[in-house]
């Protein structure tokens, strides 16, 4: 597991959907409340006063949205939304396989439908496109990100255009992967700051797959809700650790080179896109919780209270890998997670980690129930052979944290560049 950054910066612009309250002094919600208090019987009975109230209800403009509901993320752009977008509170991941007999034509029609739906939902048009569960909400920073698995290119007759970065990931000794919850032809990442908005998008997109694709697997996760802390803070994972301090930042001069595929990579459809490595990582929380706080901090290499490195300073202080304690031991242990995962320990390998926690109830291991909980890990990079693979190899061999983790599902997906106005995601591949 690598840390996940959640500081809510502004790499993608948000658009407000709220309307000034003063323009609509009698809101739909206010009228509903008044009807419930003073005239519900008349409405149900169909009396004159009830009919008048019903007519007013139909004509009343919607109430202004609050800040979270009003935030929107543009669907179109050079990159797909959901990569550098600040982490949302609710997330869903799903993989689909093209149906038997479906090929390039059916895949193009599907991506066209899905892109139109994602655009409408990201603009808060749940009434037009959704299931009804998000009718009262705005877009709530909804994003939908689409990716293609290795098998997608075989099924669409595009094997010759499959990028080299989609080479199968190597096996790692700590893997305990379930093939039924791994890989897939098509991959969706859905995020929103409202759980109903996120669920509405998932169900709507699944329904609009029609006969072209069938669901292979689906997983749901969560993060801290915006505004839950005194100021924007790095996320904590289910182990209680500040998780994501050393993530690359969009303002870093080499950020794009690490995260996005360059235009000269030989795949025009992938320019401005990225590769997503997805891993379902179960945390052995009951075992972890039996460690003392000091032992937990040694495993990670950071203080639990504020995320500061054990070599000193505060959260953002660079880790001093060479600092020694009074007894001559290293302040950052040789197998500490921050040491083993650091770019300087992996030839400069860097990824943008953007993950969600999950809790799927409890597992019966024979010794009593244990939490089925952990991290839906997502790593974004321009080349997984230079990003995820070398880091995971190093973690697999020498990370003290690996004793408390189980990698149970995996997938690698090529994520096309963003759709231009009038385009659908993947159009340059499927129609090029």
The model's pLDDT over 200-223, given as tens digits with 9 standing for 90+, comes to 999 999 999 999 999 999 999 999
Nearest to 1 by CA among 389, 380, 382, 377: 377
Residue 281 lies in a domain: yes
Model confidence over 337-384: pLDDT tens digits? 999 999 999 999 999 999 999 999 999 988 889 999 999 999 999 999
Sole residue written with tokens 């705005």: 138
Residue 56 lies in a domain: no
- Residue 407 and residue 51: Cα distance in Å, rounded? 60
Residue-number span of the structural domain to which 199 is assigned: 78-430
Q: Which residues pair with 277 in a beta bridge?
A: 379, 412
Half-sphere exposure (Cβ direction) of 357: Cα atoms closer than 13 Å: 24
Model confidence over 10-27: pLDDT tens digits? 444 444 443 333 333 333
Q: How confident is the model at residue 59 (pLDDT cuts 50, 70, 90)?
A: low
Model confidence over 306-348: pLDDT tens digits? 999 999 999 999 999 999 999 999 999 999 999 999 999 999 9
Could you tell me what percent of the chain has a pLDDT over 70? Answer: 85
Biggest distance spanned by C-alpha atoms of the chain? 87
Strands 274-283 and 405-415 come out as antiparallel
Model confidence over 274-304: pLDDT tens digits? 999 999 999 999 999 999 999 999 999 999 9
Over range 147-173, report the average pLDDT: 97
- Residue 278 and residue 183: Cα distance in Å, rounded? 9
Q: How confident is the model at residue 431 (pLDDT cuts 50, 70, 90)?
A: very high
Sole residue written with tokens 């739906």: 117
- The dihedral through the CA atoms of 12, 117, 19, 192 has a sign that is negative
pLDDT of residue 60: 56
Q: Pick the catalytic residue: 243, 264, 306, 364?
A: 243
Residue 323 lies in a domain: yes
Sequence-separated contacts (24+) of 318-323 with Cβ below 8 Å: 319/246
Res. 46: pLDDT tops 80: no
Model confidence over 177-197: pLDDT tens digits? 999 999 999 999 999 999 999
Residue 406 lies in a domain: yes
Residue 9 lies in a domain: no
- Residue 276 and residue 266: Cα distance in Å, rounded? 19
- Residue 110 and residue 211: Cα distance in Å, rounded? 9
pLDDT of residue 61: 60
Model confidence over 99-116: pLDDT tens digits? 999 999 999 999 999 999
Q: How confident is the model at residue 3 (pLDDT cuts 50, 70, 90)?
A: very low
Q: At 373, phi and psi to the nearest 5? A: -145, 155
Residue 41 lies in a domain: no
- The dihedral through the CA atoms of 314, 317, 318, 324 has a sign that is negative
Res. 128: pLDDT tops 80: no
Measured N-to-C along each axis, helices 104-122 and 195-207 cross at an angle, to the nearest 10 degrees, of 150
pLDDT of residue 12: 46
pTM of the model: 0.86
Whole-number average pLDDT of the chain = 88
pLDDT of residue 40: 37
The DSSP code sequence of 246-267 is T---TTSTTHHHHHS--TTSS-
- Residue 93 and residue 133: Cα distance in Å, rounded? 19
Whole-number Cα distances in Å, 354 to 38, 150, 217, 237, 381:
49, 22, 20, 12, 11
- Residue 195 and residue 68: Cα distance in Å, rounded? 12
**Three-point CA angle 271, 6, 397, nearest 5°:** 80
Gyration radius of the chain over CA positions: 24
Distance linking the first and last C-alpha atoms of the chain: 37
Residue 368 lies in a domain: yes
Over range 137-164, report the average pLDDT: 97
pLDDT of residue 432: 83
DSSP annotation of 269:
G
Does 193 participate in catalysis according to the annotation?
no
pLDDT of residue 63: 64
Q: At 247, phi and psi to the nearest 5? A: -60, 145
Q: How confident is the model at residue 130 (pLDDT cuts 50, 70, 90)?
A: confident
Res. 166: pLDDT tops 70: yes
- Residue 139 and residue 71: Cα distance in Å, rounded? 6
3-state secondary structure 59-109: HCCCCCCCHHHHCECCCCCCCCCCCCCCCCCEEEEEEEEECCCCCHHHHHH
Q: How confident is the model at residue 54 (pLDDT cuts 50, 70, 90)?
A: very low
Could you tell me what percent of the chain has a pLDDT over 90? Answer: 79
Give the count of domains, the chain.
1
Residue 46 lies in a domain: no
């Amino acid at each position: 597991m690598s840390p996940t950054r959640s500081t809510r910066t502004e790499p993608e612009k948000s658009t407000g959907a709220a309307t000034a309250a003063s323009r609509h002094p009698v809101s739909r919600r206010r009228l509903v409340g008044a009807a419930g208090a003073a005239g519900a019987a008349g409405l149900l009975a169909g009396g004159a006063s009830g009919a008048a109230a019903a007519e007013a209800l139909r004509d009343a403009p919607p109430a202004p949205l609050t800040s979270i509901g009003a935030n929107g993320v543009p669907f179109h752009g050079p990159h797909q939304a959901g990569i550098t977008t600040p982490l949302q509170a609710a997330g869903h991941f799903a993989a689909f396989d093209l149906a038997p007999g479906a090929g390039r034509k059916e895949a193009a029609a599907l991506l066209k439908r899905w892109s139109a739906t994602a655009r409408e939902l990201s603009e808060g048009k749940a009434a037009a496109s959704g299931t009804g569960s998000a009718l009262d909400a705005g877009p709530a920073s909804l994003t939908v990100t689409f990716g293609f698995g290795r098998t997608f290119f075989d099924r669409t007759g595009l094997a010759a255009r499959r990028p080299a970065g989609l080479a199968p990931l190597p096996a790692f000794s700590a893997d305990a992967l379930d093939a039924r919850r791994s890989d897939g032809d098509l991959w969706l990442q859905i995020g929103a700051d409202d759980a109903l908005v996120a669920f509405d998008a998932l169900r709507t997109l699944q329904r609009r797959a029609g006969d072209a694709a069938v669901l292979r697997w689906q997983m749901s996760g969560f993060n801290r809700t915006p505004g839950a802390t005194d100021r924007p803070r790095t996320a904590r994972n289910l182990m209680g650790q500040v998780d994501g301090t050393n993530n690359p930042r969009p303002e870093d001069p080499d950020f794009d080179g690490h995260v996005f595929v360059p235009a000269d990579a030989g795949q025009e459809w992938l320019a401005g896109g990225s590769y997503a490595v997805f891993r379902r990582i179960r945390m052995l929380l009951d075992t972890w919780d039996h460690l003392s706080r000091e032992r937990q901090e040694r495993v990670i290499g950071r203080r639990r209270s504020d995320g500061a490195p054990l070599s000193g300073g505060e959260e953002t202080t660079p880790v001093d890998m060479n600092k020694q304690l009074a007894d001559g031991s290293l302040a950052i242990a040789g197998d500490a997670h921050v040491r083993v995962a650091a770019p300087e320990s992996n030839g400069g390998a860097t990824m943008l980690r953007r993950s969600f926690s999950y809790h799927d109830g409890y597992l019966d291991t024979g010794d009593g129930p244990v939490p089925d909980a952990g991290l839906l890990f997502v790593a974004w990079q321009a080349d997984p052979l230079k990003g995820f693979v070398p880091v995971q190899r190093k973690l697999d061999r020498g990370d003290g944290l690996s004793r408390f983790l189980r990698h149970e599902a995996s997938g690698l997906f090529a994520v096309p560049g963003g759709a231009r106005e009038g385009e659908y995601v993947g159009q340059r591949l499927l129609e090029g």
